[in-house]
Amino acid sequence: MALTPKGYATHSLQAEEKLNSKRKEKAWLPVIGMKLEISTPFLGVHRPFVGRCCQICTPRSWESLFHKHLLSLGFHNAIRVTEEDTRYRGWLVRRLCHFLAISNWKIPSSSPGDFEKKICHSKRVQDVMLQQVPQARGDSPILSQSPAGWRSEVLQVLSQVQAPISLLLVRLCSWALLKVLTRLFHNVLLHKGQVEMVRKAAQVPDVPLVFLSTHKSCLDGLLLPFLLFSQGLGVPRVTWEYQAFTPPLRALLSQLGGIFLPLEAEHVADRNQGALSRAVLTSYAEELLKSRQHLLIFLEKPFSSAPHLSAPGWDWLALVLGAFQAGAVPDVLLVPVGISYDMAPDVCFGSQASSARPLSFWSCLLPICRALGQGFGCVRVDFAQPFSLQEYVANNCSRQSCIRKSLEELLLPVVFGKRTSLMDCEKSEEGLLGLRAAVALKAEEQILVGRLGLHSLTAGVSCSAVTAVGIMSALLLHKHREGVFLSRLMSDFAWLTEEILLHQRDVAFSGQLRALVLHSLTLLRGCVSLHQLSLGDVLVAPQATEPAMRQLSLHGAALLPIFMAEAVGACAINALLVEMLPFLGPTALPADIILSQQELQEKTLVLVQLLPRDFLLLQPCQPAFCYCQDVLDKLIQCGLLVAEEASSERPACDTSRRRFSGELMWKETGEFSDDSDYDEDSGKRCFKISQLDNCFDFFLFLCSLLSPVLRTYERAAAFLAESCCPQPEPAYTEKLQGILLRKAREDGSFECVNRSMAVSSVRTFKELGVLQELPTPAGPKLYLSESFSLRENQESLKKFIQQFIYC
C-alpha cells in the first residue's frame, strides 16, 4: 500500500474534526452568548517545518539559508525515477530510465591528484617522524631511516583510512541500490525545502559540508550517499567502523567513499604506538576539508533505544573541529540529519544479533535478497538547517560557565535522605569527555566536542519525522499492553498524531486513518495478534514474546524525545505522590492532592540531574533549572496540571476593584536578573492533577514512556549486591545485561533489555560515585565505593530510583 505525501489530512479525519468542532460550538455558544469563530487544529492545516538550528548558540545561522517559501515546496520521492528525470523520451527510455538517470547524475571532482603527497609532506606527519626516527634501533619494522621507507608506512596507514573513489563503481552500485530500494520500500521521502537549504549551503565558497546523522539502520551508510548523489550534492565520504567489516567488504566500501579509523589510532595518546596513525588521520581530515569534499558522520550506533553519542562519532567530530582550529578551512557548515524507517530490513536486525562477527559481502547480500518484495513501508530523511562551526565555537568560548558540581556532590546527599538545594548548580560535563584517544585533545577541547556532538544529535533527533509504525508501537506497548479494540486504537492513533504535530514535530505518513492503522498493523504482524469478535470489532493485542516486545520497544522509542519533558514531569509527580502516600487516607484520590510548585520543581530537577543529558536531549546551552521550568509549563499546557487557588484569595485573572495606581500588577526587572523568569511568589503556587477523564490515562502513558530506563537503573542498583566487584567494565556490563534478561523473562519487561540503557546505567553510577574505576596491572576495573559497600545504602539508592516509577 503506497502512501502519497500530498497531505497530512484525510477526508475522514477532517470530517471527524469538523464534527467535533460543531459539537463544541453548540456547547459553548449558548454559554458565551456571542458568535465566535472556533478553530480546532487538525492534520493538514498545520505542518511544522522541523530542523531549525539553535538560536542561542548560532543566531546568525538561524537567520540565514531559510526562507518562508521553503515551507510550501512539498515532498519528493527519491526512488521514483521516470523518463522525466532523463534527457530522452520514448518506450525504450521508460525501460532504461534508472540507468539513464544515474548516468546523468553529476559527480564533482573528488580528491586532488597530489592528495597523498600533501599528507606525506604535512608538518604534523614529518614532526612525528623526526621524533621517532632517532629512537629507532633497527629492530623496529615501523620506522625506517630512508625517506622511501617512512613514506611507504604513511601510505600504508592512509590505505587503511581511505581509497580513491571509483566513479564507475559508484554509478553501478547506485543503479543496483535503486533497484533494491524500490523493492524494499514504498517510497523514500525528502522535503524539497530542506534539500534546497542544503544546496544553498553547498554553494558557499571555500566552506565544506559535514552531515551529522542519526543512525537507525546499517542501510543508512548506503542510503544517505545515494540520496545526496541523486540530488546533485556529490558523493560524500562516509565514516564506517573498521572492525565491523571483513577486508573484501571494507575495500568495496572504500571505493564507494567509505573512510575508517585505523586501529593503531585508538591506543593511548601518550605512547609512541599509534602516533603516526593519529598524525596521518589528522592530516587527512585537514586535506579532506580543504578539498571541499562532503563528509558524513554517524553520531550514534544503530539499534539504540536511547540517544547517545558514540565513540567513533566523537572521534570524527573531534577531527573536524581540530582541522578548523588548525586553520585548514575558514569555516565548516554542519548539517544534522534525521532518518525514520517504518521498518528496517531484516539484514539490520540480523546484524544486531551477530555484531561480534565482522560483516562480509554475502552476509549482507543474502538477507537483502530474502527481503526483496516483502515491503518495509516508507522511509523519511530530513535535513536540519545548516549552522556555522565558526559561529558555534566563538559563542561557546565567550560564554561564561556557571557553578558546576559533580553528580556525586549533587545527588548523593539526596539519595541518603538529606535535603539540599540544586537550583543554582549545574552538573559537571565529565560525560562529554572523549571515550577514546584517537584524537589527542585538551580537556576544554574535549568538552567543546561533546557539546557540539550533543547539539547536533539533538537537532538530528528533533528533525526526524515520526512513522506510523512508531506511533502504533508506542500505543500497544505503553497504553494498551493488555489489548484494545480496533475502533479505540484508531481514535488513539489520531489523538497521538495530533499531539505530535502540536509539539512541532512532523510525521512521515499521510492517508486515511483506517488505512494508516491497518498499514501499521500489517508491518507489525509478527508482534501483534488480531481476534475477530462477534460484535463486529477486532481485538488487537501485542504478543508477549521477547522478539515482539523488543521490536515494539525499538520502534516506540521514537516518541520518547517528543514527550520527554512531559514524561519527566509525570515521573516527578509520581515521586511526590509516593512521598505523600503514607499520610493520606484510604479514600484519597490523586486529583485531591495539592502539589507545591517548589517541591515539584525540586523533584523534577533531581530526575533531570540523574538522567544523562544526551538521553534527555538537553542542549548544553540550556540550564537544568530552565528545563524544569519548561517541564512545568508543558504539564500545564497539556492539561495534566491545573492551578489551585486558595478559597480566601481572589482568582488570579480577576482584576476588578483593584487600584492600579496603588500597586502595579507587574514589576520591572533587568534582562539578566534572577527574577526575570522566576518571581518570588511563583514557588508558593500550587497545582492539582486534572480530573478530566483522559488526563489520568495520559499520565500513565507518560510514566510508561520513561519507565524502561528507570527500571533499568533500578535493577542496576539491585545488581550491586551480587556484582562481584572488582571486574572490568565490559564484563560488569555483560553480567548486568544477563540480570536484565532474567528479570524480563520473569515479568515480561523485555523493553528494559537493551545494551545502550545498561551502559548508560553503568556510566551514571560511575558519575554518582557508586562505582569507581581504578587502574590495575591487568587494566582498569570497577570497584564498589566504600559508601555503597553497605547494604542499607544500596537499598537507599534503589528506593531513590523507585520513587519515579509508577507501579
Report the Cα–Cα distance between both ends of the chain, in Å, rounded. Answer: 40
Looking at every residue in the chain, the average pLDDT score rounds to 81
Is position 760 within any domain? yes
Confidence of residue 273 (pLDDT cuts 50, 70, 90): low
CA distances from 265 to 161, 422, 436, 440, 583 (A): 11, 40, 9, 10, 60
Contact between residue 539 and residue 767 where contact means Cβ atoms under 8 Å apart: no
Contact between residue 677 and residue 683 where contact means Cβ atoms under 8 Å apart: no
Give the integer Cα–Cα distance in Å for 148 and 536.
Answer: 81
Is position 575 within any domain? no
Q: How many CB atoms lie within 10 A of CB 672?
A: 6
Give the integer Cα–Cα distance in Å for 452 and 313.
Answer: 11
Residue type for position 668: E
**Residue in the block written with cell 533497484:** 179
* Mean pLDDT (whole number) for 2-25: 40
Number of domains comprising the chain: 2
What is the model's pLDDT at position 117?
84
What is the DSSP secondary-structure string of 158-184? HHHH-----HHHHHHHHHHHHHHHHHH
Give the integer Cα–Cα distance in Å for 590 and 640.
Answer: 12
SS3 455: helix
Contact between residue 545 and residue 526 where contact means Cβ atoms under 8 Å apart: no
Residue closest to 719 by CA, chosen among 801, 774, 637:
801
Give the integer Cα–Cα distance in Å for 305 and 307.
Answer: 7
Q: What CATH code is carried by the domain that includes residue 391?
A: 3.40.1130
Is position 581 within any domain? no
For the chain, what percent of residues have pLDDT higher than 70? 81
Residue 782 pairs in a beta bridge with: 727, 773
What is the model's pLDDT at position 350?
45
Q: How open is the CA angle 182-187-192, to the nearest 5 degrees?
A: 125
- The number of residues making up the chain comes to 807
Q: Which residues contact 532 (CB under 8 A, 6 or more apart)?
A: 538
* The C-alpha cell that represents 644 in the structure block: 489551585
What is the model's pLDDT at position 374?
80
Is position 317 within any domain? yes
Confidence of residue 254 (pLDDT cuts 50, 70, 90): very high
Q: Is the entire prediction scored with pTM above 0.75? A: yes
Question: E strands along 156-277, which residues?
Answer: 187-191, 209-213, 237-240, 258-260
Is position 343 within any domain? yes
SS3 198: helix
Is position 574 within any domain? no
Most confident of 44-53, 117-126, 515-524: 515-524
* Mean pLDDT (whole number) for 660-686: 46
**Domain that residue 797 falls in:** 707-803
* Mean pLDDT (whole number) for 285-314: 88
Confidence of residue 8 (pLDDT cuts 50, 70, 90): very low
What is the model's pLDDT at position 396?
82
**Residue in the block written with cell 509527580:** 573
Instruction: Give buried/exposed letters for 610-627 (b at 16+ CB in 10 A, else e).
Output: bbbbbbbbbbbbeebbeb
Confidence of residue 278 (pLDDT cuts 50, 70, 90): confident
Contact between residue 391 and residue 330 where contact means Cβ atoms under 8 Å apart: no
Residue 595 pairs in a beta bridge with: 687
Give the integer Cα–Cα distance in Å for 28 and 26.
Answer: 6
Is position 610 within any domain? no
What is the model's pLDDT at position 609?
92
What is the model's pLDDT at position 1?
38
Is position 791 within any domain? yes
CA distances from 242 to 97, 171, 358 (A): 36, 24, 9
For the chain, what percent of residues have pLDDT higher than 90? 43
What is the model's pLDDT at position 307?
80
Give the integer Cα–Cα distance in Å for 576 and 669.
Answer: 32
* The C-alpha cell that represents 301 in the structure block: 550506533
Confidence of residue 109 (pLDDT cuts 50, 70, 90): low
Give the integer Cα–Cα distance in Å for 320 and 533.
Answer: 60
Q: From 335, 367, 397, give the residue that closes a domain.
A: 397
* Mean pLDDT (whole number) for 509-526: 91
Residue closest to 129 by CA, chosen among 15, 327, 323, 283:
283
What is the model's pLDDT at position 670?
38
Q: How many CB atoms lie within 10 A of CB 590?
A: 17
What is the model's pLDDT at position 655?
42
SS3 643: strand
779 or 558, which is more confident? 558
pLDDT of residue 426 exceeding 90: no
pLDDT of residue 155 exceeding 70: yes
- For the ranges 184-198, 292-306, 417-431, the lowest mean pLDDT is seen at 417-431
Q: Could you report the per-residue pLDDT of 558-608, keeping only the tens digit for each?
A: 999 999 999 999 999 999 998 887 777 665 666 678 888 889 999 999 999
pLDDT of residue 700 exceeding 50: yes
What is the model's pLDDT at position 585?
61
What is the model's pLDDT at position 133?
57
Q: Could you report the per-residue pLDDT of 706-747, keeping only the tens digit for each?
A: 999 999 999 999 999 888 788 888 899 999 999 999 999 998
* Mean pLDDT (whole number) for 341-348: 73
Contact between residue 86 and residue 185 where contact means Cβ atoms under 8 Å apart: no
pLDDT of residue 144 exceeding 70: no
- For the ranges 142-146, 227-231, 481-485, 551-555, the lowest mean pLDDT is seen at 142-146
Contact between residue 593 and residue 690 where contact means Cβ atoms under 8 Å apart: no
Q: What CATH code is carried by the domain that includes residue 784?
A: 1.10.10.10
Give the integer Cα–Cα distance in Å for 343 and 184.
Answer: 10
Q: How many CB atoms lie within 10 A of CB 598?
A: 14
CA distances from 785 to 22, 760, 766 (A): 64, 18, 10
Residue closest to 253 by CA, chosen among 346, 325, 161:
161
Question: E strands along 497-562, which residues?
Answer: 528-532, 538-542
Enumerate the H helices of 611-728 as residue ranges. Answer: 613-616, 624-637, 693-718
Q: How many CB atoms lie within 10 A of CB 724?
A: 9
98 or 547, which is more confident? 547
